[in-house]
Each structure stands twice: as structure tokens, then as C-alpha cells.
Chain A
């Protein structure tokens, strides 16, 4: 069972919701919970879950390496490269590794078999545990342009028998799609402002395009207006829960404190959200109730 937490707009509370939901669900001893932080550009979940990292591995993509002895500078590789990652000069071929998508086309099609591939690191995958939760995240190297190969590496660690919570990056383009793809359900966290609404509609288009059922959580629910609620009613998008703005909560969040630990009322907020997710996603029969 895979539940992703997305938003479109940054800063609405995805990580807060994902982390606290995972902690709530992990309280049920018969349930195996996995947490995947797919925001590999700016991973934050580890700041709250504070996992003990047990392994760290380099994540690479294959990039071309030209054998200058065999290369005739025929130009075929640059011709076929869809990303302008190769430039063929009179006496040599230049490789712009940052542009390379690792498609393998140049190596496959070089008439002189002069291209090998070598693995270039784009980031690091870390795996560990936070209490009863299995934790995985990726950290993109500074200066790297493409998060998608690292997100794929994080998602390859999904354990099918577990309940997996995925923290998704902000936005609506390929990193978000890669993170959300294959989820059974997506929580869309928003705020009741024009920015929240605009980006929620974009995020909802992504889940719809991918055929994934989703529901909305309105964070800082009393700071804004009614247009998000009206949109959800008109489009029959379920509102799974509302979290009111709370200055105390904001301060707790700022320190890396886990909201769930701070009092009964927060336990109830997230308990309520989980009950709504269960009801709307129809997973009652798949997951043991807690």
C-alpha cells in the first residue's frame, strides 16, 4: 500500500503531514511502515524522524566515455543525442555530462564502437530506521540538475508488504510525477489561499493524469478564504481533514519537533486524517485497523 503526500505549492505542510501520519501508523505493531523522502533536492523528513542511517550508497547515471583511439569524429553521436550532451569538434568529442540523461543511445549507435559508459554519481541514497519505521531518502549532489534518477533509486526500495508513505517534492513536473507514480492514494496538502488553490488544481491534474485517487488536507485552515473548500465541493474532491493555524505548532515545527508528541489534540487531528484516508481510499480491507 503506497500513500504519497503531495501539494503543488511548496511549504503547505507535506513533510509535517507525511511524518506525523507515518509515526501514527507505526504505533500499530502489526503494521510495517516505510517512509520514503522523495524530495531529493531538499530532503527534510530526516530532520523530524531523526533516523539512524545504516547504509549509504552512491547513485549514478551512465554517461559516455569516448575512446579517442577508435573515434573518427564522424559526428553520429552528436547527431542522435536528443539532449545536446555531445559536441563533435574537428579532433575530439566533448561530453557535457550534466545534460546527459543516460539513455545509452550514443554507445549503442557509434559505428566505431568507440563509446563506453561510465557511472557518474548524481547523489546519495541513505537507508535507516526511525524507531519502528523503515526510512529511505536521497540527497541530490549540489550542482546536479536532474533529480529523477535519484528518485527512481529511492522508490526501488519500496517493500510491497509494507505501508509506504512518500514525501513528494513541490511542483507538478517530472520529479513529482516520478515520486507519485504507482501510488494507491495521494494526499494533497494545501492552504486556503489563491496560491494554494491554483497549485492544488495543478497537483490534482497530475494525480488525475496518473489515475490515482486523491483527497485534500487543508493546512493553516483558518488563514485565508473559502475558495479551496468551494473548489473541493464543486469537483467532488474529498477534504480529509483540516489543520488550523497554530502559532505554537509553527514554533514546534521550526525546532524539528514532532507534532504528534505534543499533545492529545494533535493525535486526534492525525487520527482523524487517517480515518478519512481509510474511508475514501477503500483500504479498510487491506490494512489492519489501528
Chain B
């Protein structure tokens, strides 16, 4: 079983669009949407939810005003400015460290389990999918990402599936790090802009730091072919294979609006390039090529 994570550093480069098309092209796989605080893959793959589970992680402090003597010890020890002057805990600022609970001389602070979201096991036309919704303003996104990957792994094992196809989050922080843990390949989707290259270098730095092999795709490359060329040269120096360069085309937006993966929506230069990129992924991961209905140009 192999794991592929699609990340970007910079947001909005086309991770989800690419993941959705890979879901069409990959033969034996489970999809995992690990962009848990702004999950979009379901908008293109239209999963039917088969199981819903609560994601409970960590606690939040609650002060019992009857027992509270207003001594202020909790406010002294709280490092997160989560307790107001009238001794109310702000659940958004509270990081669930329990220190106030231990420090309170009146035992007036209890810790309540925090339900921070939900995760789902679903069926799609393209195969099974694990996805999640992190509650608004919650923490623990890294833990939810880990849970989604773990559940996808269990499913893949049970059903003898070859690949876990992971739609990753933007950035470089803990949800991204969690989405990279133990994967066989990080495919970085970038764009030919100075923001894109700046962020690409940082996120490849993270993949390197955690010893995860990476490859790159340049999306909308013809917006700036010069910068696209610079990216290719940089990747070459770093030993990061560039698996493809997708041209800008409004048809991609049309496909998103239609809620359809690009490679299903229409055959054109974009879908041809995505199919070529997929063949590159297949080679790097040494997995079986393509599902039925696509041209098998090479193994």
C-alpha cells in the first residue's frame, strides 16, 4: 500500500482539482481529504456518507461560579489569556492545558471534553473516501488529519487497496506535517508566481526535514513561462522531479462549477497533461496504472 499526499505551501494552486482527477485515474485507492479546516474534495467527488463519527480531542476549562472565590490564581497561571476578569473561560482561547484546574485552590474548575468536529467514511463513484469537518475555530487539526489518514489506511488494508490518495492542506504547520507523516510521495502543486516559488521552497524544505520524497507540478504555468522555467531549474538542482506543467484554461473553473473532475469534464490540453502527470506518479510509486476507460499508453 502506498500513500500519496498532495500539498502546495501556497493556497489555491490546484491541489483539490488535481486530487479529484487522480481519483478518476487511479485504479485501486481510497481518497482522504486532509484539508480538514476547509475541505472541498467532496464538492467534486460527491460522497455518500456511510458512517459519521464525532471527533473528540482535548478539553476546555469551565469555572463553577458557585465554588469560585475569585482569588485570581487561575488568571495568574493561564498562559493563553483565556480567563476573563470576571472568571469566565473563553473556549476559543482556552488550549485545554489543565493548569488552571490543578492550580485552583477551591477545585472550582472542571475540564470538559471538547467535541471539535466530525469525520466520515463515505462511498463515491470512484471508490471509498474518508473526510472530516473540523469545528469552527477549533485546534487539533493535526490530530484530525492523523485520524483521517489512519482510518483511510485501515480501509485500504481491509479492502486490499493499493493507494491512499491524500488531498493535503496549505501551509507548513501541523496539519501539513501530519499529512506528510509516513507517506511515499509528496506531490507539490505550485504556480509560476513569486509567491508560489517562495512558498514552494518552504514546503519542500518541510518535506526534506521529515525525509519525505517529493515531486512537483506547475499549474497555470503559462501565466509566467519565465518563472515556470526558474521553478524547473530549481527543482532540478534539488532533485525534485517536475511531473508536469498544466496550462491555464477556464475549462478548469467550468469543471469545478459543474462539480466534475477535470479529466471527466472534457478532453483537452489540461486533462491530457493531468493524465501525463498521473503516469509520472504511477512510475514513482510503482503502482498499477489507471482504471478502466482511460488510454493506457505505457505501464
Contact = CB atoms under 8 A, between A and B. Distances in A.
Interface of A: 8-12, 15, 41-42, 44, 47, 80, 82-83, 101-105, 108-109, 140, 142-147, 169-177, 181, 193-195, 198-199, 202, 205-206, 209-210, 223-225, 247, 250-251, 253-256
B96 A82 contact: yes
Interface string B247-279: 010100100110100000000000000000000
A190 to B, nearest CB: 11
A256 B194 contact: yes
A9 B11 contact: yes
Given A172-B38, A177-B92, A255 B194 contact: yes
Contacts of A255: 193-194, 224, 227
Contacts of A9: 11-12, 38, 40
Contacts of A12: 12
Contacts of A251: 223-224
A42 B137 contact: no
B87 interface: no
Given A171-B171, A173-B137, A210-B137, A202 B12 contact: no
B97 A10 contact: no
Given A223-B250, A251-B224, A145 B99 contact: no
Interface in B4-32: 8-13, 16
Contacts, number: 180
Contacts of A105: 97-99, 102
Nearest to B15: A10
Interface of A is mostly: loop
B206 A101 contact: no
Given A104-B77, A140-B173, A173 B102 contact: no
B92 A193 contact: no
A223 B253 contact: yes
Closest 3 CB pairs of A and B: A11-B12, A10-B11, A103-B97
Interface residues of B, number: 63
A224 B254 CA distance: 7
Given A177-B137, A254-B224, A224 B253 contact: yes
B136 A11 contact: no
Contacts of B248: 250
B213 interface: no
A264 to B, nearest CB: 24
A138 to B, nearest CB: 12
B192 interface: yes
Interface string B165-193: 00001111110010000000000000111
Contacts of A143: 177, 205-206, 209-210
A42 B202 contact: yes
B58 interface: yes
A10 B95 contact: no
A145 B142 contact: yes
A47 B224 contact: no
Interface string B94-113: 01111100110000000000
A204 B257 CA distance: 21
